[in-house]
C-alpha cells in the first residue's frame, strides 16, 4: 500500500473542519464506516489479495472527509506559540515589513510586558530580531513607530492552515471559506 504524503482534513458532520490525520487513519475511519461523505479527488489505496476470491481489496480516500457525528469543540483558539505567530504574520516583521526565515524572527509585545502588556494574540507581532532589539521595552508611541499590520487572534481554520505545510489546493480552498476577512492567510 502506497501511503500519501499529504494529510487528510477531517471535518465533522456539520461540515466544521476539525483536525488533520494521516491517510492510514482515514482508511481506518472509512473501513469502520465512520465517514458520511467526502470531497476531492480520491486516491486509491490497495490492500491484500483475498484467498477466497483472488481479488485485491482497495479503499478510496479523498483529501477531505466528513465524520458521521457532530464534534464538540473545547478551545478553538490556536495556542500562542512563536511558530503560530510567525505563520499568522507570514514571517514578515510588523515594523520593517521585510520577510525573514524563522530563526531571524522573535515575538514582540506591542505594549511591553514590563509596562502591563499581556501575552495575548492582540498584543503580539512578529518582529525581526533587529527591530525587536531596537524597540526594547519601549512603546510604539515612545519610538514614533507604527505597526504595518494589525495583530489579531486567528481562528481554528487558520490554525489548521498554519499546521500543514503540505496542503492540497482543494483543502486550502475549503478552509479558506472559514477564514475571517481580515486574515493574512487568504
Per-residue pLDDT tens digits for 50-89: 899 999 988 999 999 999 998 877 667 889 999 999 999 9
Banded model confidence at residue 46, pLDDT cuts 50, 70, 90: confident
In the chain, pLDDT over 90 holds for what percent of residues? Answer: 76
Which pLDDT value is given to residue 162?
87
What domains sit in the chain, N to C, each tagged with a CATH number? 8-73 (no CATH), 77-165 (1.10.30)
- State the pLDDT at residue 75: 66
SS (H, E, C) the chain: CCCCCCCEEEECCCCCEEEEECHHHHHHHHHCCCEEEEECCCEEEEEEECCCCCCEEEEEECCEEEECCCCCCCCCCCCCCHHHHHHHCCCECCCCCCECCHHHEEEEECCCHHHCCCCCHHHEEEEEHHHHHHHCCCCHHHHCCCCCCCCCCCCHHHHHHHHCCCCCHHHHHHHHCCCCCCCCCC
Q: What is the mean pLDDT of residues 43-47?
A: 87
**Max Cα distance, the chain (Å):** 79
pTM score, whole prediction: 0.79
At 149, phi and psi to the nearest 5? -145, 150
State mean pLDDT over 132-154: 95
pLDDT of residue 74: 66
User: Closest Cα to residue 65, out of 93, 86, 37, 42?
Assistant: 37
Q: Work out the mean pLDDT of the chain and round it to a whole number.
A: 92
Distance CA 151, CA 126 (A): 9
Amino acid at each position: 500500500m502506497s501511503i500519501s504524503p499529504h494529510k487528510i482534513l477531517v471535518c465533522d458532520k456539520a461540515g466544521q473542519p476539525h483536525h488533520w490525520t494521516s491517510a492510514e487513519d482515514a482508511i481506518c475511519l472509512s473501513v469502520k464506516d465512520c465517514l458520511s461523505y467526502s470531497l476531492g479527488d480520491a486516491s486509491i489505496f490497495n490492500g491484500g489479495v483475498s484467498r477466497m476470491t483472488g481479488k485485491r481489496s482497495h479503499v478510496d480516500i479523498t483529501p477531505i472527509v466528513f465524520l458521521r457525528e457532530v464534534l464538540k469543540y473545547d478551545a478553538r483558539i490556536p495556542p500562542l506559540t512563536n511558530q503560530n505567530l510567525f505563520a499568522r504574520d507570514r514571517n514578515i516583521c510588523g515594523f520593517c515589513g521585510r520577510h525573514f526565515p524563522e530563526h531571524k524572527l522573535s515575538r514582540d509585545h506591542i505594549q511591553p510586558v514590563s509596562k502591563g502588556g499581556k501575552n495575548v494574540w492582540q498584543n503580539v507581532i512578529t518582529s525581526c530580531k533587529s527591530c525587536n532589539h531596537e524597540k526594547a521595552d519601549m512603546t510604539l508611541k515612545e519610538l514614533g513607530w507604527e505597526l504595518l499590520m494589525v495583530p489579531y487572534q486567528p481562528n481554528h481554520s487558520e490554525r489548521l492552515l498554519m499546521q500543514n505545510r503540505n496542503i492540497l489546493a482543494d483543502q486550502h480552498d475549503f478552509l479558506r471559506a472559514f477564514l475571517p476577512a481580515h486574515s493574512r492567510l487568504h
